[in-house]
Amino acid sequence: MSQAKAEDADSDATATAAVVPSADARDPAYFHYYAQFVHQQNMLQDTVRTSAYHSAIIVNGPTMFREKLVIDVGAGSGILSYFAVQAGATKVYAVEASAMSQKIQKMVDRTDRANPWLKDRLQVVAAKIEDVKLPQVDTLISEPIGVLLVHERMIESYLVARDNFLKPGGKMIPSSGSIYLAPFTDANLWTQTMAKVRFWKQNNFYGVDFGPLVQEARDEVFGQPVVGCFDSRILLAPAIAHYVDFETITMAELQNIVIPFEWKVPFTGIIHGIAGWFDINLGGMILNTGPYAERTHWQQVRFLLKEPLAVNAYQTVKGWMRLSVNMSRSYDIVAELVTGEDADLSDPMDITSTEPPSPAERETPSGFGKRRGEWGLHEQVYMYGAELDYTKPEFLAIYSPESGSAAEVEMTDGTWEATVL
């Protein structure tokens, strides 16, 4: 990038920072977390993640790494930098702002005793990518991903590296990702969550009436995304995908994301919320974190509705999810769902508050249902519930439509499908 372009980019970044919440406020806690061995080990021992990156870097070695200059954005333990050297990189700049950079440096300083192949090929840069000056490189590598792809806002730093240090035509691993959303039913999870709210409904807790706090408690508890692996059979319809191209997406597009969706549910059931996960493209190799794939440390995430939404067989469910950056290195999320092909949706950019839809909005005379929810992606809770019997759809309160002949519900591509016999 030319000096003039760099100055323009700095100017644009300054202008954007005036209106977009900065992630910097949470940096001390964020970098302290990733400076700990226990958290780096958790990621390293995610064999799906680590082996996928290793395979991608080694397989793409001849074209993307051999005799190339490389930047590892947010190097963490340094594992991707080590892989890049193994793949033949001339020089790798391992950019890491946490104290873990000292651990990478220790590895480099002791190449006379261990890992001699690292000698003179790895340079540790103990800073944020936003604060450094580096040469133009041929390839960027990073693991900038969080829950639902975008949590922790590390992708923003990845884009800074792209815009400032990647040569024209340079390569990125990962090059893209997709967010997946699907409706789910899980009465057990919803009931457990509601039980937390009911505690605050007590009107005689040692003589104290907690009633005035019930609504706030419900907003808080149901506003916490539930992170954890789940059985794919709770999904009521195939997921829709929202593609994110890391090579072309702008910072502004990343900071306010709207994902429209439309699902057709082939049976009568109850939608308790929206499930989400993602995949990323590692040099032509896809790392998938969905409920059908081998589990990873990212798991999946579920967004519970305060009030479930009933759906009839073959009914269409439409809606949108909006993700807006916040100061907690994450996103505030709002979503709206309606049933019926002709139902009206609100404009996602007009919703500034998630006050429940009015009675007229919720259940219109023509029978359409509308639900709206709000969640803080950073306010995650973890769920490792007991295994339930999902072998029959009735255990999930999913019922086959009766159309004058018998109907069978069976698993197809990880979701239940109804077939008239």
**In which residue are the tokens 């792809």 written?**
149
Return the half-sphere exposure (C-beta side, CA atoms, 13 A cut-off) of residue 43. 18
Range list of β-strands (E), 46-117: 69-73, 91-95
Residue among 7, 96, 130, 143 flagged as catalytic: 143
User: Which string of DSSP letters, residue by residue, matches 142-206?
Assistant: E---BTTBTTT-HHHHHHHHHHHHEEEEEEEES-EEEEEEEEE--HHHHHHHHHHHHGGG-S-BT
* C-alpha span between 142 and 314 (Å, rounded): 42
Amino acid occupying residue 36: Q
Q: Fill in the DSSP letter of residue 140.
A: E
Strands annotated E in 326-398: 331-339, 370-376, 381-382
Written as one letter, the residue type at 133 is K
CA–CA dist 396, 270 (Å, integer): 9
Torsion of CA 242, 245, 250, 251, to 10 degrees: 70
Rounded-to-integer distance, Cα 220 and Cα 100, Å = 34
Rounded to 10 degrees, what is the CA torsion of 179, 183, 185, 191? 70
State the catalytic residue, choosing from 152, 156, 336, 374.
152
CA distance linking residue 74 with residue 125, whole number of Å:
10
Contact 103, 35 (CB under 8 A): no
Under 8 Å between Cβ of 220 and 306:
no
Give the number of other CB atoms < 10 A from CB of residue 208. Answer: 9
DSSP per-residue string spanning 357-375: PPHHHHB-TT--BEEEEEE
SS3 322: strand
Question: 304: closest CA among 272, 326, 335?
Answer: 272
For the question of residue 387 being annotated catalytic, the response is no
What is the C-alpha separation between 41 and 79, in angstroms, rounded?
11
Residue with tokens 């790895």: 122
Query: Tell me, what amino acid is at 144?
Result: P
Residue 143 annotated as catalytic: yes
CB atoms within 10 A of CB 30: 19
The residues annotated with a catalytic role in the active site are: 143, 152
